[in-house]
Every structure is written in structure tokens, then in C-alpha cells.
């Protein structure tokens, strides 16, 4: 599926550069990990608050607003450090069933975060029945943890 796109990625000059380089990949991968950790931290603090834990003295909306700017900046860093890593190994991922699974999970996590979670987090306190933000927080946590874990499993189970 989408083979031509993956082949195009594989053939890019940047992919070539990364395949030849001794240290470039390692450096980018390391920075990527810090960006991912920051991204996940911003998700986690928001989800804890939705679940009624963590920084409860602050409103859900307040935490969500602050976390959102971190999410965007960390997301940008994830993007910048992620592109060359993806294109360099594009054809390997194209053949991996776990990769496909992760992509689906990721699409769901992104859609969920950008729509329902945003709206619920931004809602005024008391406007929603208490189970709603809790359920949203739990689903978000499950989705993003799932993305993290399945990403890791690609190494072991292809």
C-alpha cells in the first residue's frame, strides 16, 4: 500500500545522507526522543487533569491551554527530527504490519486529541457530567500509550 510514496521517500537525498552518515542518525534520533518525551509529558499532564488528578487546583481549560503550546512546539521538533528517520527506512516500514497498526492508532489518537479531547478540556467546569472528562482522559492515555508501545514493538516483532 502506498508503495510509490515509500519508494520516493527512500530515494530522497536526505535518506541517502542519513544512510551514509555515522553520527547524523544517532544525533537526530536522540533529539527526537527528547521531543517525544516532552510531547508525551504534555499529553499526560492534560490527561491526568481530565481524570481529576494532578494539578486539580487549576482548571482543565487552563492546563489544556498551557499544555497545547508545549504540544505544538514539541510536535514541531518531533516532525523536524522525525522526517529524515522515516524516509531513510521508509521501505522497511512499508512492509511492517505493526507499523500499519501504529499508524492507525496514531491517526485515531490525533483525531481524538484535536477534536473531542480539545472540546472537553476547554469546557467550563461544571458544564459536563463528571464522567465525561474522565472517560476522555482515559481514552487519550490509552491511545497515546498504545502509540508509544506499538512503536517500540516494531523492532522486536517487525
Partner 1 sequence: MPSIVPALEWLEGLAWTTAIRESVWGYPMIETAHVASIVAFAGLVIMMDLRLVGLAFTHAPLAQIQRRLFPWQIAGLVPSTATGLLLCCIDPMRYYGNVFFRVKLALLALAGLNAVVFHLKTYRRAERWDEDPQATATARLAGVVSLLLWSGTIVSGRLIAYNWFA
Partner 2 sequence: MKTKILLVLLAAGALWSVQPAQAHHAFAAEYDEKKPVTLTGIVTKMQWVNPHGWIYMDVKQPDGKVKHWTIETSGPSQLSRRGLKKADFTDGMSAVVKGYQGVKDPALANGRTLVLADGRSFYVGSVGGPNDGADR
For binding to partner 1 (CB under 8 A), which residues are involved? 26, 29-31, 33-34, 36-45, 48, 53-58, 62-63, 66-67, 69-70, 145, 148-149, 152-153, 155-157
Residue 1 carries which DSSP code? -
Which CB atom, from 33 or from 114, has the smaller least distance to partner 1? 33
List the x/- string, 11-50, binding to partner 2 by CB under 8 A. -------xxxxxx-xx--x--xx--x--x-----------
By CB under 8 A, is residue 99 in contact with partner 2?
yes
Q: Between the CA of residue 54 and those of 58, 59, 68, 150, what are the distances in Å?
A: 9, 11, 17, 26
Which CB atom, from 71 or from 120, has the smaller least distance to partner 2? 71
By CB under 8 A, is residue 61 in contact with partner 2?
no
Instruction: Please name the residue that has the C-alpha cell 486539580.
Output: 56
Q: How far apart are CA 99 and CA 106, in angstroms?
A: 10
Tell me which residue of 2, 8, 13 sits closest to 95, measured CA to CA. Answer: 2
Amino acid at each position: 500500500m502506498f508503495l510509490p510514496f515509500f519508494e520516493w521517500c527512500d530515494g530522497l537525498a536526505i535518506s541517502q545522507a542519513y544512510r551514509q552518515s555515522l553520527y547524523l542518525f544517532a544525533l537526530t534520533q536522540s533529539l527526537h526522543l527528547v521531543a517525544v518525551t516532552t510531547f508525551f509529558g504534555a499529553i499526560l499532564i492534560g490527561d491526568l487533569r481530565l481524570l481529576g488528578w494532578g494539578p486539580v487546583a487549576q482548571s482543565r481549560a487552563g492546563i489544556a491551554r498551557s499544555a497545547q503550546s508545549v504540544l505544538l512546539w514539541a510536535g514541531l521538533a518531533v516532525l523536524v527530527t522525525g522526517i529524515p528517520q522515516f524516509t531513510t527506512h521508509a521501505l522497511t516500514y512499508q512492509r511492517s504490519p505493526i507499523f500499519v497498526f501504529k499508524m492507525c492508532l496514531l491517526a485515531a489518537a490525533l483525531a481524538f486529541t484535536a477534536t473531542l479531547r480539545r472540546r472537553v478540556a476547554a469546557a467550563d467546569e461544571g458544564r459536563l457530567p463528571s464522567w465525561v472528562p474522565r472517560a476522555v482522559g482515559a481514552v487519550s492515555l490509552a491511545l497515546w500509550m498504545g502509540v508509544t508501545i506499538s512503536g517500540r514493538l516494531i523492532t522486536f516483532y517487525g
